[in-house]
Amino acid sequence: MRIDVEDLVLRYGDVTALDGLTLSLEPGKIYGLLGRNGSGKTSLLSVLAGFRRQTAGDVRIDGRPVFENGSVTGRISLIRDTGETVDIGSAEDAIFFAEWLRPDWDGDYARSLLDLFGIDPKKNVKEMSKGQRSAVGVVIGLAGRAPLTMFDESYLGMDAPSRQAFYDALLADYIAHPRTIVLSTHLIEEVSSLFEEVVIIDRGRLVVHEESQALLSRGTAVTGPTAQVDAFTAGLTVLGARQLGPTKSAMLYGDLDDVRRGEASAAGLELGPIDMQDLFIHLTGGPGTSRAEAPPAAELRTGETR
């Protein structure tokens, strides 16, 4: 399903959660939705799923409005971090209602996923551990095969082996049954290999929307003696730097052409990739930067050094 959002505003009283956000997502891809706490990720997903009406702006899925439009929302699944099945009885009850609600439901696949995650279908969901409840939500999201499936940190309660099993299952089922999938997560490095495109929002506004590999290619780590690194990076957009003794590593944002790469080699500097998490941290202001102080991403493309 295609997603089109234009000038989206969502307010909770005096708080603006989404502030004029414009975004278009093509169908049939896996998107990573990234943002710091309070950036507006959950608010955006809630509007896309029709759980909330936007304050202003336009939201369309496959060209149709979402809110109170059953023909659209019936094809959208949003699994939230709190779980969608806590008050519904047993896991078996959750499966029953999901099958009733989801026209693309695959019951055999759902049962295989319950086995994969070691879930007793007869057990009351309220009595399960947080990890088990998260797994039940994941089962509902995957087996529903909704054309637009969104996971909002819904797998955080699972342990590392279970999360890896989820990632493997998601990718395998996506290949077999393509659809639009949005993963909102703080576990960036753990799941970033799944992303075809990355959407980063901050303070309710769009920071970056780009193909995953294209975004990663814009970041370069320059490592070497401090004086040479400082001379090479002068005038470039430096996201951050680390220093250990006489050696310094600076993280650059922006493409380096062959001439610049040749200059780095001649200066004895090592060029390497930056991981997605480092890019995210610096594009949204870094861990020690307040939300008010963090510059908008547009400033990071002007060549200003931070």
Q: Which of 213, 228, 250 is the last residue of a domain?
A: 213
Cα separation of 170 and 176, whole Å? 10
pLDDT in tens, 96-135: 888 888 889 999 999 999 999 999 999 998 888 888 989 9
Of the pLDDT bands very low, low, confident and very high (cuts 50, 70, 90), residue 163 is: very high
Q: Which of 213, 230, 261 is the last residue of a domain?
A: 213
User: What CATH number is given to the structural domain containing 297?
Assistant: 3.30.70
- 194 shares its domain with 224: no
Kindly list the distances between the CA atom of residue 203 and the CA atoms of 58, 207, 284, in Å, as whole numbers in the listed order. 19, 9, 9
Q: Does 306 map to a domain?
A: no
At a CB cut-off of 8 Å and minimum separation 6, what does 70 contact?
A: none
Task: Give the count of domains, the chain.
Answer: 2
pLDDT in tens, 237-256: 888 888 999 999 998 988 88
- 77 shares its domain with 162: yes
Strands 238-244 and 180-184: unpaired
Q: Residue 142: what pLDDT?
A: 96
Q: How many CB atoms lie within 10 A of CB 223?
A: 17
Q: How many CB atoms lie within 10 A of CB 292?
A: 7
pTM for the full predicted model = 0.85
Share above pLDDT 70 across residues of the chain, in percent, rounded to a whole number: 91
Q: Locate tokens 């001439």: which residue?
A: 259
Q: Residue 115: what pLDDT?
A: 95
Structural domain that includes position 246: 218-301
User: What CATH number is given to the structural domain containing 29?
Assistant: 3.40.50.300
